[in-house]
Amino acid sequence: MAGPHRFRKSGLGHTSLPAASWGLRPEVLRAEEEEEEEAATMVGMSEVFETLKARVASNGLLQIVLLLALIAVLLSPALRAEFLWDDFEQIVNSTTIGDPSRIPFYFTHNVVQSAGGEGRGADGVDTYRPLFMVALAAIYQINGPDPFWFHFAVLTAHLVVCLLLWFLGIRWLDSRPAAAISVLFFACHPVTAEAYLWSSALPEPLAAAGLLGAVLILDRRTTGGRDGPRIWVSAVAAGLVFLAGLFAKEVVLAALPALGLFLVVVRGVRLRYLVPAAVAGVVFVALRMAALSGLQATGADSIQRLAALKFYPVLVLDGFLAMLTMQPIGIRHLSWEYATLSLGASAGAAALCLALLVTVFALRKTLPLALAAALTTGLMLLPIALVATVPGWGGFGRYLYVPLAITALALAELGLGTHRAFKTTRPHLWWAVPLIVVTALVVEQVGLRRALWVYANQENVARTAIEIFPDGPDGWEWLGNVHIEKGEIEEARECFRKATERGPELFRPRHNLAAALLYSGRPAEALQQLEILNSLHPPTAPGSKVAVTALMELDRWDEATLRLVDSLDRNPGYAPLSDTAARLLSQHPRGDELRSWLSLELTKPEHRQSASVILPMIGE
């Protein structure tokens, strides 16, 4: 019997008759076959995706590897950045970090002396960070002052902090997705990028790793009321890790009370297991006092301390706003921004801070991390209020590095609780929290691109500082230095003039203005600036070099000679002054007469130091 029954079916369910015999065009059949193949491909891809999803969900190691890899890729442009700001003093121009034998020296001296300088830090601020200097020395051994390796080290330390925060997050939040989001938010925050996008910020992640590492050890090994010798070994290990963090940067000591309270009250750690960490703090303070000849760090007087108290509530409020709004991006100079702060504004900020503290305290049972974040931020910004009173002291975002780590977990705790409540009571709003999270992360990535640009080179840092606060002198001074490096003397002079107008009492802007005036052919104006400078600050070797050179340019040779001898008496080891002396001897219009006078004058006891430099030049 004729009909379709006599024909064998193909593998696709069609008969073996030609398409035309069934009334189908060949192109229609090919389209159907392509659709079926595409559907099969989609099914296969869906199966692969579900398999990968299940594998990632069941493999904690794979989760953290993927998360850290994502963070590393997002931050990788920083590896191409140049040296910035303090990098030049602590790395490029350091006379010690290339010598490993100087490592013990770091544990008995401040950072400035450890890097080969003299005295205290910028604007009289003293710091003690021996582990930071050891780390710089170790990195220097790789390829000298190569910015790639220093940026690589900072980013590696930052990834270690992210890893520690991940482990704390999955323990404290009991949700791996929430922990991952909090780590990503912390890792890429554009304001705290100041703590991981330039080389001399290495103390921030090193200190944070010490603090969070100690907290993680205590949380993992001493919770649940456990006791015994092994628990004490873990407690001592936590104390040693914390001590290492303190050797990187002292300010993490301020976070110990807040996180210790959280561990005891919320996590059930017995108070006695915090004793080794407290002992580590006492040991560190004793070593720091011995190295710096006292506890005080800034030379603050009572007036400065009162100003710090006025700044403090504004600083705390400013910190919370910066963490939540992710602005401003760049290096701030709080002393200038807060210079006109009124008592009324300070009182208003204090009232808001108190209201915030009362709120998080009331929610301590449902949102315990919120209280920990508030206390950590408040305590860690307390010493920063003091340095915020020092004119010219730069920095803000890096001081929020550890507070942001705890705040990120607190925000994840809040978002997780809100999302679960919505799913139960308002299921039609299940999308609200995920939408907020995605929006925040997208905005953060936009800010991170900006931060990567800001910290790419010194010129971008300078221009951003001017954008943040154009009435401050520091951004203009930095920009002037950039123009000097480019040989753009006129542009540099204008920048230094603007810096001097905004900070007339500061040393560096006026000194640099004098130098720029000298090198642009205006020695008389340079001397005028130096006279003003000497009325505000004691004479310095660099200033004396500029003054002697300017006097020589004006043919005031006798004054130049007297100034040179006086300067060398104070600074016989300053090589540029020695070079200036050689130039004066070779260019003086009455060279023989000058040499005769020097031969007699430098025999006086008060000129013993300058004689050791000049007499060999004239054959004496």
Residue 526 lies in a domain: no
User: What dihedral do alpha carbons 264, 313, 200, 575 form, nearest 10°?
Assistant: -130
Q: Which pLDDT tens digit goes with each residue over 464-495?
A: 999 999 999 999 999 999 999 999 999 999 99
Same domain? 442 vs 574: no
Q: Which pLDDT tens digit goes with each residue over 318-349?
A: 999 999 999 999 999 999 999 999 999 999 99
| Cα separation, 368 vs 266, whole angstroms | 7
User: What dihedral do alpha carbons 391, 541, 466, 350 form, nearest 10°?
Assistant: -10
Residue 521 lies in a domain: no
pLDDT band (50, 70, 90) for residue 391: confident
Where does a domain end: 409, 424, 454? 454
Distances (CA, A) of 39 to 27, 33, 48, 225: 18, 10, 14, 57
Same domain? 441 vs 544: no
The pLDDT value given to residue 224: 59
Q: Which pLDDT tens digit goes with each residue over 1-13?
A: 444 444 344 444 4
Same domain? 440 vs 542: no
Distances (CA, A) of 559 to 167, 511, 556, 582, 601: 68, 20, 6, 16, 15
pLDDT band (50, 70, 90) for residue 228: confident
Same domain? 544 vs 437: no
The pLDDT value given to residue 116: 78
Phi/psi of residue 368, nearest 5 degrees: -65, -30
* Full-model pTM: 0.86
| Average pLDDT taken over every residue of the chain | 88
| Cα separation, 319 vs 527, whole angstroms | 43
Distances (CA, A) of 355 to 43, 318, 351, 409: 55, 15, 6, 21
| Cα separation, 127 vs 136, whole angstroms | 16
Where does a domain end: 454, 487, 508? 454
The pLDDT value given to residue 37: 72
Write out the two tokens for 268. 């059930």
The pLDDT value given to residue 344: 95
117 DSSP assignment:
-
Same domain? 145 vs 289: yes
Same domain? 222 vs 371: yes
Residue 427 lies in a domain: yes
Q: What percent of the chain has pLDDT over 70?
A: 88
88 DSSP assignment:
I
Same domain? 65 vs 189: yes
Q: In sequence order, which residues have a C-beta less than 8 Å from that of residue 512 and are 6 or more positions away?
A: 477, 480, 481, 484, 492, 496, 499
Same domain? 449 vs 572: no
Same domain? 201 vs 348: yes
Residue 425 lies in a domain: yes
Residue 140 lies in a domain: yes
Residue 338 lies in a domain: yes
The pLDDT value given to residue 573: 85
pLDDT for 16 beyond 60: no
- Domain range for 429 is 59-454
Same domain? 357 vs 229: yes
Same domain? 543 vs 434: no
Residue 484 lies in a domain: no
The pLDDT value given to residue 223: 66
Q: What percent of the chain has pLDDT over 90?
A: 67
Residue 33 lies in a domain: no
Same domain? 442 vs 545: no
CB atoms < 10 A from the CB of 299, how many?
12
The pLDDT value given to residue 221: 77
Domain count, the chain: 2
Q: In sequence order, which residues have a C-beta less than 8 Å from that of residue 200 and are 6 or more positions away?
A: 84, 85, 86, 87, 90, 91
Where does a domain end: 414, 435, 454? 454
Peptide bond into 77 cis (omega under 30): no
